[in-house]
Amino acid sequence: MLAALMLAGCATTGVSDLQPGMPEPAVIARLGRPTHVLPDQASGGRIDEYMSGPYGQTTYLARIGQDGNLISYEQVLDSRHFGQIQVGVSTKADVLRIVGSPSETMYLALAKLEVWSYPHKENPVSDAIMNIHFDSAGVVRMMQNTPDLRRDPDQSGLFGLGFRGFRRH
């Protein structure tokens, strides 16, 4: 129980004093430079993104209003935010606004789909990757949530290919 409390404290250290209405320079002084800055059509402001990448499992979005003040600050790589993405409706711009930039991208030539990957914690103990597939028009066509085998050597085996007979000791 003590370990859980200590981990919870680490997760919020330094950001518990962020409050809506804070000026952006105060937010940046507290958090540092964002990894990405995105326009936010919803507020007319912008989104300062703080990724823990490249294979990190958290991305925090600080939404800054037109007035230059903080609207909200939250961790977005979770099922609630992924659930806001609509297959056949959401676009790349929507996905960036909802969950931020991907950790990795790839292109599936035969399917003609671009895939954005987001490592995240599915629950407190499961490592997962949400793969969001876009068509050539930039519309979400499919979403797949898979185990992140890079974080589980017992499952991935040699080079992540499933050859469990070859293991490092």
For residue range 6-33, what is the model confidence (pLDDT) as tens digits? Answer: 333 334 334 668 999 999 999 999 999 9
Global pTM value: 0.79
Q: How confident is the model at residue 159 (pLDDT cuts 50, 70, 90)?
A: low
Matching residue, tokens 């050539």: 136
Contact 69, 24 (CB under 8 A): yes
Q: What is the CATH number of domain 18-154?
A: 3.30.1450.10
Q: Where are the domains of the chain?
A: 18-154
Q: How far apart are CA 109 and CA 133, in angstroms?
A: 12
Contact 30, 50 (CB under 8 A): no
Among residues 134, 148, 128, 129, the alpha carbon closest in space to that of 85 is found at 134
What's the confidence (pLDDT) of residue 14?
Answer: 44
Q: Which residues contact 127 (CB under 8 A, 6 or more apart)?
A: 57, 119, 121, 147, 148, 151, 152
For residue range 60-88, what is the model confidence (pLDDT) as tens digits? Answer: 999 999 999 999 999 999 999 999 999 99
Contact 30, 47 (CB under 8 A): no
